[in-house]
Amino acid sequence: MERTVLDLWVGVFVAAGIAALLILALKVGNASATFNVGDTYRVSAEFDNIGGLKPRAPVKSAGVVVGRVDQIQFDNERFRARVMMNIDKRYQFPRDSSLSILTSGLLGEQYLGLEAGGDTENIKDGESFKLTQSAVVLEKLIGQFLFNKAAEGGDTKK
């Protein structure tokens, strides 16, 4: 085979391979969402129970992704979970905003819901949200429900 034709085919092959990798990274994967990590600020919050929240879970406000969970630690002094998150610099929130752990769909993944408060001052890098609501633990919910039912049953017997 002639050398120029060979070079052409190999060039096409390598270019197609790199294009496939780029498609995988940008169209299939979330590389485009992860690249702009430079302009975020870091805040934290404490929860009694984080349920199934995982690092990289989205932080959503009004359903829009505004940041991502970065780290989850256990505070051994207060026995609570400390969740660090990176929030996009474009979005600023009042200091008294509240965070709750929610589930997308019936069986979906858990995410942090951010409800804006009414404070005039915005939260800054390194600070923490004070108002938090823990994840709903299904077993506790069922236990409470059964307890209430039992209590009701006791009342009617009287």
Partner 1 sequence: MLDRLAAPLRRLGRQCINAVWRLGYASRFFLFVLMRSGTSFRRFQLVIKEIYFAGVLSLIIIIVSGLFVGMVLGLQGYETLQKYGSAEAVGTLVALSLTRELGPVVAALLFASRAGSAMTAEIGLMKATEQISAMEMMAVDPIARVVGPRFWGGLISMPLLAAMFSAVGVFGGYLIAVVLIGVDEGAFWSQMQNAVDYRDDILNGVIKSVVFGVAVTAIALFEGYDAPPTAEGVSRATTRTVVTSSLAILGLDFVLTALMFRGA
Residues that bind partner 1 (CB under 8 A): 1, 3, 6-7, 9-10, 12-14, 16-21, 23-25, 27-31, 33-34, 56, 105, 107
- Convert 66-100 to b/e letters by CB count within 10 Å (16 or more is b): bbbbbebeeeeeeebbbbebbbbeebebebbbebb
| Nearer of residues 16 and 131 to partner 1, judged by Cβ | 16
- Pair 60, 114: CB distance under 8 Å: yes
In whole angstroms, the minimum distance from the beta carbon of 94 to partner 1 comes to 28
| Nearer of residues 28 and 151 to partner 1, judged by Cβ | 28
| Nearer of residues 14 and 142 to partner 1, judged by Cβ | 14
The CA distance from 115 to 148, in Å, is 30
| Nearer of residues 24 and 150 to partner 1, judged by Cβ | 24
The CA distance from 10 to 139, in Å, is 60
In whole angstroms, the minimum distance from the beta carbon of 124 to partner 1 comes to 29
In whole angstroms, the minimum distance from the beta carbon of 32 to partner 1 comes to 8
In whole angstroms, the minimum distance from the beta carbon of 102 to partner 1 comes to 16
- Pair 51, 57: CB distance under 8 Å: no
Q: Which two tokens stand for residue 77?
A: 């002094």
| Nearer of residues 27 and 157 to partner 1, judged by Cβ | 27
The DSSP string of 59-88 is EEETTEEEEEEEEEEEETTTTEEEEEEEEE
In whole angstroms, the minimum distance from the beta carbon of 64 to partner 1 comes to 13
